[in-house]
Structure 1
């Protein structure tokens, strides 16, 4: 007992002595390294980042039949939705999105568009006309519903049972196709006719999940989509002259294509080079490129998808080529475009670009899941849908490669990995911009410059701006001038830094592939992504995720002082922002160099750190981040050079 008392007295004396001698207690950086969101696991989502043992999501299967009337630009048809409630809760009602209601004078999207307009300004002469709304389940039928802006609430006469209860929701609908569809859909007049790019074209189920319940945020503009997965059967009736291309597989080619076109498609499936289905000189020659009849119904199917889109026109040139996928599988790359887009290194390369993009992502990250990938020239800057993209008919050369590659990159985020675009645009646009970086470098050994890396240093002024916003800002809230950086560039740069500077390609790639595989056709949250990257990558990254994705701090490393000692040198580093490992090169006067690294934990106790370098060589210069991976807002103090 006496020994224990003496030990405690010694400890107390030591503490008091150190306290009296200390001039001040330096603040530590524990807050920078603390957790910032609740990432504890539960039965639905695990702390390791993978779906929990009781993870669930609901399913929506669609049967849609529509007709397109070019005379009045009208779509009219019927939708039947089989809605399956896999949740552990009985449901008294369900929500649907009516996204065409955005194109009305008093929609929330119209009323929240700035007076000067923006990319998401749309027509105001549309909106749905709905009729024969029926909701059937458990032998009962209800027609009770409430429509509010871009959403509709339907009510079950009897609760839709948990864990497998099924309902059939059906209605007739029609709308006028907007000319300007918020840069996501619409009409384009060309010399040979109209190109209709059809998206957000049918009433669809709102996602019900374990995070938000019903995700009923309205369709305003910048915020995109969050949808349930399911199976689709849809048909499009058009006049004889029209060609239809759409998400999924064409089910009746013998009914809607000539024998020559069927043969050309079969040849394209075996060809690495684009083969014409409709040649430029054949456009407008209806009797040569269309079977007999007044109108045709094109039928499509798509399995395990969250959406479908289609395009129709009598102005299409149409070509296709084989996509080589892992495990000796194949798909078909297709392009449909008007004669205005053909030639001068333009859309005649679209299928080449589509093929190269999908092959790269399939080999690098996760196999492409669909049988077709279709690029359509439209009056849309660039917009993605499952198995399909709309890109500007004016694009050519590097611009067309960039937009094609970006839109098909979206097949992986968010079409395969089904994140909530309306809340977390960075998990959609940012992840995709990141993978575009590597696909661009790979395409024809760098035929086109890498726009993201070229733009990196030009972003410093934005990172220092007092008007910058954090990545986690909702897309419909972010200022227009900030959206491109907070949704696209900054999250992409964050992943680039994580791969090339913090984790290294081997650890990053394993973790990133683990994320894609775990959440393919499911609904991950930011926390799920952070958890799986930490667990599979083997690194506590809360300090990085917290500051880069949820804050406005910047990276600012510097060399504060270099002092020569009897044993060599002491180098003092400083961090004035986001903590980072210090990767640095020491260059000696004899022409040699050392490549060195200090772990991020050096910043836990404070903002400066001194390290010793034992050497008998004389230092010429020291450079932090010699490969210029980081976006350091003051790169000029990343170097130190000897004065003698």
Structure 2
């Protein structure tokens, strides 16, 4: 629907005569005030913004890891500087040990067998833990519980104080079945995709205190801070990781450094590590090389290491004249414009689009890795499928790097509220698909519930009719696999599309959405914050929409019953009778076609159905009509379109 059509809202009488009568018996006002799941307070205010008392703890990491390519063991040491900015004193620190998800006795093994099959590891082996506070250092008592570890403090960590944790650990990298982290064989050498690889502090926030949901596969919720990390790997490997590589002179040869400098100034892709470089690298070596990276602010880092990778790059042009670099790494067999040769082009365009539309990309590099196919995102780096090509590679690249905004910049809790991660990101990557290269890969369709290449409004009807479908606000771990994509990705994304195109219009929506992102960049919003922010900034009480689309699952079913001229005279106007037969309400686009051929597009506001499900409204016309159509462009998910049009005699 055009912007003109969306915004040309005509307020029509909900009753044929004023004043309106009381609501029909048994009719529940769909526009009744909504009490959000969490009340506003000094930490999170009524406008959906961080309040005057908002606080957030901080975790800064210094990490050194090494990969043993013979045993596939990663060993590491880290120092975490943890700052308690809360008003509370803490007597313990909770950390996540994500590698324990691969243990045979992990909780996840009974509900997420897709990650494992019959394969297991010993998980994180903690070698030592030391606490250093203002009075000294000591070895604390620790309690490991599944994918979490409690560090019991001998002296409480007071408000606005900090301490250091020193931890040494190791684990065996899972094989290709590992999901989020894995080692995969390739003809040119092993590919190590390393993520969620270090013990990391859980979030302590104003909502729940320590948020320690066990890791069952539903991604993560981490605290922000700075990262300084190094990776020691065999010298024949290239390593790429989140953030900035700070020792290029020690790990890249002169030709590669020159090519990288060229790429940083080029809008066209430049090869950094060529097929010839891969061929020249020794197959076996006892030598090692250490790659050093830094990144801030961020909630995580990840990296990849392999002899097999080619490496290309191009410049990303950001708002206010800044630049970043798009990089792609992939095996030789996946080079070429019909495979991964366009990856950096896709990456560059996506980051530029998201930066221009929503919020500037904050990090120096955006990296796309051809991996074993986990399709998983981390700040500044994403792992996509080696075999992805063409539109699939573009779509997955745009989607995964889009996670840089949700939840890497806007740090929502994706273990609890997947829609704030997957749904928001699907919304922005669908727009990018429309924009890229004049729609080369458009339109992107995200419905796995009723695929068919039709209109999203029609594809989602099956989900809205399904009495077993979870609501969007269902916690992530409670959404079964059959509903994961339609409920966490497609429904919230299409909801934002309707909010932008049909309910608010792009101007009001974009301003409110940008303000929400900027306000919560590198902070931790929850659903109530988002709902309040969008309602407040758009100037629209959207409680009816949050209730109907996010908190419930019900079909929308409007029907046009009749149209008649007042006193039988077209010059006196016409009256339209329509019925709400479903449980969901939305504004209804209406198209009037007149006998002389001209067309008027209007929008019936949600207030039309405040008092009763069947209403007669005045169309305020003065000419003869030939046809009345409800939602002719399929902008809203009407369950039955057979009664959405009337021919006027």
Q: Which residue of 1 aligns with 2:321?
A: 328
Q: Which residue of 1 aligns with 2:202?
A: 206
What are structure 2's unaligned runs of at least 5 residues?
A: 1-20, 447-452
Distance 1:474 1:24 in 2: 35
Distance 2:122 2:371 in 1: 19
DSSP 3-state at the match of 2:429: helix
Q: Which residue among 122, 128, 133 is the counterpart of 1:132?
A: 128
**Aligned pair in 2 of structure 1 residues 34, 554: CA closer, same or farther (>3 Å)?**
farther
Aligned ranges for residues 471-490 of structure 1 at < 5 Å?
471-490=472-491
Q: Which residue of 2 aligns with 1:440?
A: 433
Give the deviation of 1:639 after TM superposition: 1.7
Distance 2:477 2:350 in 1: 29
* Alignment partner of 1:196 is 2:192: yes
Task: Tell me how large the CA RMSD over aligned residues is.
Answer: 1.9
User: Does the CA-based 8 Å contact 2:125-2:170 persist in structure 1?
Assistant: yes
Aligned ranges for residues 92-241 of structure 1 at < 5 Å?
92-113=91-112, 117-118=113-114, 123-140=119-136, 141-162=138-159, 164-180=160-176, 182-221=178-217, 223-241=218-236
Q: Which residue of 1 aligns with 2:407?
A: 414
* Alignment partner of 1:299 is 2:292: yes
CA offset digits 1:41-100 (Å, max 9, x no partner): 211000011100010010000011011011111101101100000000010011000000
User: Does the CA-based 8 Å contact 1:261-1:278 persist in structure 2?
Assistant: yes
Q: Which residue of 2 aligns with 1:502?
A: 503
Q: Which residue of 1 aligns with 2:592?
A: 586
Aligned ranges for residues 215-364 of structure 1 at < 5 Å?
215-221=211-217, 223-286=218-281, 294-343=287-336, 345-364=338-357
Q: Which residue among 553, 571, 574 is the counterpart of 1:569?
A: 574
TM-score normalised according to structure 2 size: 0.92
Distance 1:588 1:183 in 2: 59
TM-score normalised according to structure 1 size: 0.92
Q: Which region of structure 1 is more displaced relative to structure 2, 558-567 or 439-448?
A: 558-567
Distance 1:34 1:250 in 2: 52
User: Does the CA-based 8 Å contact 1:136-1:156 persist in structure 2?
Assistant: no
Distance 2:142 2:45 in 1: 37
Name which one, 1 or 2, has greater alpha-carbon Rg.
1
User: Does the CA-based 8 Å contact 2:278-2:310 persist in structure 1?
Assistant: yes
CA offset digits 1:250-295 (Å, max 9, x no partner): 11011111011111100110111111111123313127x99x9921
Give the deviation of 1:411 after TM superposition: 0.3
Distance 1:610 1:278 in 2: 69
User: Does the CA-based 8 Å contact 1:142-1:156 persist in structure 2?
Assistant: no
Distance 1:395 1:301 in 2: 30
Q: Which residue of 2 aligns with 1:13?
A: none
DSSP 3-state at the match of 1:487: helix
Distance 1:507 1:379 in 2: 41
Give the deviation of 1:168 after TM superposition: 0.6
DSSP 3-state at the match of 1:30: coil
Q: Which region of structure 1 is more displaced relative to structure 2, 606-615 or 401-410?
A: 606-615
Q: Which region of structure 1 is more displaced relative to structure 2, 570-579 or 454-463?
A: 454-463
* Alignment partner of 1:388 is 2:381: yes
What are structure 1's unaligned runs of at least 5 residues?
A: 1-21
Give the deviation of 1:25 after TM superposition: 5.3
* Alignment partner of 1:85 is 2:84: yes
Q: Which residue of 1 aligns with 2:556?
A: 555
Distance 2:76 2:85 in 1: 28
Q: Which residue of 2 aligns with 1:10?
A: none
* Alignment partner of 1:635 is 2:641: yes
DSSP 3-state at the match of 1:470: coil
Q: Which residue of 2 aligns with 1:3?
A: none
Q: Which residue of 1 aligns with 2:611?
A: 605
CA offset digits 1:357-381 (Å, max 9, x no partner): 0000000000000000111100023
CA offset digits 1:389-437 (Å, max 9, x no partner): 0000000000000000000000000000000000000000000000011
* Alignment partner of 1:424 is 2:429: no
Give the deviation of 1:619 after TM superposition: 1.8
Distance 2:22 2:281 in 1: 90
**Aligned pair in 2 of structure 1 residues 183, 619: CA closer, same or farther (>3 Å)?**
farther
Structure with larger RCO (C-alpha < 8 A, sep 6+) = 2
Give the deviation of 1:616 after TM superposition: 4.1
Q: Which region of structure 1 is more displaced relative to structure 2, 459-468 or 212-221?
A: 459-468
**Aligned pair in 2 of structure 1 residues 23, 254: CA closer, same or farther (>3 Å)?**
closer
Q: Which region of structure 1 is more displaced relative to structure 2, 51-60 or 32-41?
A: 32-41
DSSP 3-state at the match of 1:476: helix
User: Does the CA-based 8 Å contact 1:192-1:315 persist in structure 2?
Assistant: yes
User: Does the CA-based 8 Å contact 1:135-1:155 persist in structure 2?
Assistant: no
Q: Which residue of 2 aligns with 1:525?
A: 526
CA offset digits 1:547-581 (Å, max 9, x no partner): 10111112222212222322232101222221222
CA offset digits 1:422-461 (Å, max 9, x no partner): 0000000000000011111110010012223746223322
DSSP 3-state at the match of 1:380: strand
**Aligned pair in 2 of structure 1 residues 481, 119: CA closer, same or farther (>3 Å)?**
farther
Give the deviation of 1:462 after TM superposition: 2.8
Give the deviation of 1:24 after TM superposition: 10
Distance 1:307 1:462 in 2: 34
Give the deviation of 1:120 after TM superposition: 7.3
